[in-house]
Structure 1
Amino acid sequence: MHDELLTNPRADRVRAVRSLTGRAVRRRAGTFLVEGPQAVREAVAPGGPRVHDLYLTPEAADRYPEIVAAARSRGVPVRPGSPDVLDAMSPDAQGLVAVVDQVHADLGDVLTSRPRLVAVLAHVRDPGNAGTVLRAADAAGAGAVVLTASSVDVHNPKAVRSTAGSLFHLPVVTGHELPEVVVALRAAGLQVLAADGGGVHDLDDLLDVAGAAPPGVPDLAVPTAWVFGNEAWGLRDEDLALVDAAVRVPLRGRAESLNLATAAAVCLYASGRAQR
């Protein structure tokens, strides 16, 4: 281990780590918290973001020696702390917390790589939903995720936990307004589709004609950006006016609707399948 065991839950260092749960503090510091073994493992992996410190209980060090080894191989200070200290830093630590530089990607740089699948979150306010969509985008093979300026901070602790480490797997762009994003996506050769319960096009019908869609019908086999709206009210009329087409996910049973993250996963996987 790097230091002597931290045992005082009220120490300045402990309070400084805990303060990163606040957005204003994260913005000033340019860092954020990564909690739990899965997310910390991805953060300290080779090629990951800069990690300032890794805090963990002796029990966690024994249980996850590969995380300790990966951190040390990158020169990350490994600081042991008592369970009380880790709980004070984060009640969701599961014995491990890392302080990591914030991850920001440039929209232009991302689109220069010509991604074939992009997820755009417009006005998404729930951190759990945002993180889960990012995880689904990663799993479906998306090349990037964009969160508009009005969406939740992707470095919110709940959002980070919900990504289960996927935050470190693909570029995440933040801070742009939706009209600017749509223009950039089209210029990069992507069609822009909105997931909307009132959409003219049925997702299953689009899958049936993928690769051979008739004129006026979106082709899921071509490079596509999906726009997902707010959890409560979806996409505004002015947002829908920006996209090439609105697509609804068919509801076969009696459910009134799908939640945001589930609908996003269905749409992203549909595109991923069509593009294979």
Structure 2
Amino acid sequence: MSRRSVRTERRLFLADGPKAVEGALTVPGCVVEVFATPAAAEQYAGLLAPAAAAGAPVTLVDRRALESLSDSVTPAGLVALCRFFHAETSIPPARDVDPYGSRRRSLVAICADVRDPGNAGTVIRCADAAGADLVVLAGDSVDLYNPKTIRASVGSIFHLPVAVERDAASAVAAAKAAGLTVLAADMDGEDLFAADELLREPTAWLFGNEAWGIPAELRALADHVVSIPIYGRAESLNLSTAAAVCLYASARVQRV
């Protein structure tokens, strides 16, 4: 399962570590089997109890066998074999009240050509923390099921819908068709911290590649370009850091 082609062909991936396994067990039908060392099975007995109830057997293996399944430097002794579960690229219509009855407008993150698995997983984690409705990995983005993406999400990949869309422009068009305002996070745009009125709208944030940002033709499809001001001497912010700032800026004004 270490290669994308194998994962795609078999439609299976590995969730490594207790947070990932716990999250995977919350998705009906996702977990096929859990592998654990005897020590980990004892340590995480409460976590593994639902596995059998969900029809996913727990198989005890020695540490050497477990390490062959994990790419972590210090494996926790727990790995789940899981089925693909990502959502269709279906952006929910704009709304003013979330499914839990709170007053909050729609919030979506579209990642275009994001190549680093750690960044992709962290953006998913940030979107989850900010209460977003959906993350879309668009264009030539990293594989959602890359082990580093799964691990960097710290279980958040199982908490909110994540869609995969090969055509980034189609993802932007879908957001607009759903009634969302598309905000491109890029240089030379409107000041994020002076854009509260804009941020109150149902929003799809568009984030670009770590090295070259958002392609000009994709940026042109956005309704607005919004920038995070740099007050110090840093040239820019890391992608996942910028995404966290933008998503929380939206979450703050949407929940007032």
TM over 0.5: yes
Please identify runs of 4+ aligned residues in structure 1 that moved more than 4 A: 112-115
- The residue aligned with 2:172 is 182
Q: Could you say which residue in structure 2 is the equivalent of 1:21?
A: 2
After TM superposition, give the deviation of residue 149 of structure 1 in Å: 3.1
Q: CA deviation at 1:197?
A: 2.0
Give the counterpart letter for 1:105 in structure 2.
Answer: A
Residue correspondence of structure 1 range 5-16 to structure 2 within 5 A: none
Indicate if the aligned counterparts of 2:133 and 2:160 stay in contact, CA closer than 8 A: yes
Q: Provide the secondary structure at the position in 1 that maps to 2:92.
A: helix
Query: In the aligned structure 1, how far is the partner of 2:155 from the partner of 2:206?
Result: 22
Please tell me whether the aligned partners of residues 197 and 247 of structure 1 are also in contact (alpha carbons under 8 angstroms): yes
1:112 Cα deviation from its structure 2 partner: 4.8
Matches within 5 A, 1:111-190: 111-112=92-93, 116-190=106-180
For residues 82 and 261 of structure 1, the distance between their equivalents in structure 2, rounded to whole angstroms, comes to: 36
Matched, 1:36 2:25: no
Give per-residue Cα distances to partners, 1:188-219, cap 9 Å, x unaligned. Answer: 110000000222x0001113xx3xxxxxxxx1
Does 2:186 correspond to 1:206? no
The aligned counterpart of 1:273 is 252
| One of 181, 186, 194 as aligned partner of 1:191 | 181
**Residue 84 of structure 2 aligns to which amino acid in structure 1?**
Q
Quick one: structure 1 residues 91 and 176, their matched pair in 2 at CA, closer, same or farther if it must change by over 3 Å?
closer
Structure 1: 5+ residue stretches without partners = 1-19, 211-218
Amino acid at match of 1:188: A
Q: Distance between the aligned counterparts of 1:85 and 1:91, measured in 2?
A: 12
Distance 1:190 1:248 in 2: 19
- Are the counterparts in 2 of residues 33 and 100 from structure 1 also a CA contact under 8 Å? yes
2-structure distance, mates of 1:103, 1:198: 37
Specify the alignment match of 2:219 in structure 1.
Answer: 240
Change (3 A) 1:160 1:177: same
Figure out how many residues of one structure are paired with residues of the other and give that number: 244
1:159-188 CA distances to partner (integer Å, 9 max, x unpaired)?
010111111111111033122111111111
Q: Which amino acid aligns with 1:142?
A: A
How far the C-alpha of 1:94 sits from its partner, in A, is 1.4
Partners of 1:29 and 1:173 in 2: how far apart? 19
The 3-state SS of whatever aligns with 1:100 is strand
Name the % identity: 50
- Is the CA contact 2:89–2:165 (under 8 Å) kept in the aligned structure 1? no
SS of corresponding position for 2:205: strand
Q: CA deviation at 1:243?
A: 0.3
Secondary structure in 2 aligned to 1:196? strand
The question of whether the paired residues in 1 share the 8 Å contact of 2:94 and 2:178 is answered with: no
**Cα separation, 2, equivalents of 1:84 and 1:162:** 24
Contact 1:42 1:48 in 2 (8 A): no
- Distance (whole Å) between structure 1 residues aligned to residue 48 and residue 212 of structure 2: 44
Question: Residues 198, 48 of structure 1: CA spacing in aligned structure 2 closer, same or farther, 3 A cutoff?
Answer: farther
Structure 1 or 2, whichever has the larger Rg, is: 1
Residue 135 of structure 2 aligns to a residue whose secondary structure is: strand
TM-score when scaled to structure 1?
0.85
- Could you tell me which runs of 5 or more consecutive residues in structure 2 were left unpaired when the two chains were aligned: 96-104
The one-letter amino acid paired with 2:63 is P
2:86 alignment partner, SS class = coil
Query: Could you report, residue by residue, the CA deviation over 1:206-242 in whole angstroms, capped at 9, with x for unpaired residues?
Result: 13xx3xxxxxxxx101100000000001011111111
What's the CA shift for 1:43?
0.8
Per-residue Cα deviation, 1:141-168 (whole angstroms, up to 9, x for no partner): 0000001131111100000101111111
Q: Does 1:51 align with 2:51?
A: no
SS across alignment from 1:185: helix
Code of the aligned partner of 2:141: S
Q: 2:238 matched to which residue of 1? A: 259
Asked whether the equivalents of residues 94 and 202 of structure 2 are also in contact (C-alpha less than 8 Å), the reply is no
In structure 1, how many angstroms separate the alpha carbons of the residues matched to 2:137 and 2:36?
31
Counterparts of 1:113 and 1:72, CA distance in 2: 39
Matched, 1:88 2:68: yes
